[in-house]
Amino acid sequence: MSKYEHTCMIRGDGGRTLRAVLDRICNKWTLLVVATLDQGSLRFTDLHRQVTGISQRMLTLTLRNLERDGLVSRTVHAEVPPRVEYALTPTGKSLISPALALAGWAIEHVPHIEASRDAYRTRER
């Protein structure tokens, strides 16, 4: 069994479970929201302000999915008006280190990736 098969196919479901988790974590907004929440709990409006470019609807969907998956907790404070705060759970916090490693890899390889894209576009013309 290859290292890939051992890691990705271990559950015997053809990798479906792993793909579902990675689809959630590796979407356009999840890592940005998780990284922003690494500074501590935030209200929705503060989170929306800090995650540049995300719509309110997409932030709502992202937070809902992260809460459902146990990466983010949602706390409603009994105040008028109600105050809702979002924070990383221990599982969410455990995502920070791998996310930073992935971001570091991306930053390191951006020049090569951009050069490859340019070369590809040139070949396709």
Sorted by where each begins, the domain ranges of the chain are 3-94
* Element (DSSP H or E) covering residue 73: strand 72-77
Distance CA 1, CA 8 (A): 11
Q: What is the pLDDT of residues 24-37, one digit of tens each?
A: 888 889 999 999 99
Residue 5 has pLDDT above 70, yes or no: no
Q: In the CATH hierarchy, which top-level class contains the domain 3-94?
A: mainly alpha
pLDDT at position 96: 92
